Amino acid sequence: MQSKHQKQEPQFHWRSSMEGWDVRQISQSRIRSIGEDGLLRIWQEDVLEAPLSGRRFKRIYQQPSATRVPYMSLDFKNIGTETYLAMISRDGQLTVCEPVDHDNLSEWQILWQDYLCKTPQRTEETGFRLSWHHEKLPAWPAIMAGLDRKSLSLAVSVMDTVKIFRTDKDRKFYTAAEVRGSDALIRDVAWANGSMRGFDVIATASKDGIVRVYELHTPGISETSASEPKRTNDPHSGLKSPTFPKPHQSGIGAGLAGGPRGGRNEEQDRPGRVNQEAKLVVELSAHSGAVWRVGFSQMGDLLVSTGDDGLVQVWKKANNDQWMQYAEVDAIGDI
């Protein structure tokens, strides 16, 4: 398979169907990519073709950006046999899709499409990234408080802010929390697995060289453990999430919002909705330049970051719930 994007590819995803426990397609893998040409493309493996033949992966879907502005980030979520796809373009338009038939990924429909901020100027530096919560169920305290068990959860970094979106019983997206712990552009966001701990953990990579780790808690529900923030005098260490101003919807997004499924609705009294609080836990500063990427291990106890300095930093959560530097890899030292 050769990628046919005409310009640079900012993100490239590989995911085996094994990760979604799809036993009907257990032998197939799919690759999804976005490029500076404004195209999203999906390839599916044909196991009958010979490896390295150039025909092993076949393109099954292609979608141009609705605003003709390149996508900056994409992520997809598997729940059993269901697949969901989210992407955000450089002008701040978020699109969430699902297949028309979850057994066939060659045709998709939009669940929600909307601008999350005022459209940036052409010369303005932007930062938009997103990450699904990839586990099947949300954290148990949120479910006890009334959150729908099948809620989809998505973290989206919008310039210097992270917005946490969830869905209610009608699959309408709403803002569950908002994180404002950084004054610098956020380059990446990651959502850790481990909902059994009773709260969610989210990490961000910022232009100021800091990796920030947040915990997302459900007010009024006691948890077995929660770590205290290192910087208790930080004004952003505890953030509640009331109703937030709603950006202007696009034509497609406005139509979908009124439909029976998908869209966005910020009414707080709808069934299956729970507001949450974000707490800054720690700021990790081992990079000498901007940090571009962060990611968690499968268990959520290891955090990896990379930046302009060419170093890969590995952080581990110790027994005292503190994040400690675990390893450092010089990725360009031998070049």
The pLDDT assigned to 241 comes to: 41
CB 133 within 8 A of CB 153: yes
The pLDDT assigned to 13 comes to: 54
The pLDDT assigned to 83 comes to: 93
Distance CA 97, CA 111 (A): 5
pLDDT under 50 in the chain at which residues? 15-27, 225-258
The pLDDT assigned to 3 comes to: 54
- C-alpha to C-alpha distances, 249 to 107, 119, 243, nearest whole angstrom: 24, 12, 16
Right CATH number for 127-330 from 1.10.10.10, 3.50.50.60, 2.130.10.10, 3.90.1150.10? Answer: 2.130.10.10
pTM: 0.80
123: alpha, beta or left? (left if phi > 0; alpha if psi -120 to 50): alpha
Residue 104: other Cβ atoms inside 10 A: 12
The pLDDT assigned to 221 comes to: 74
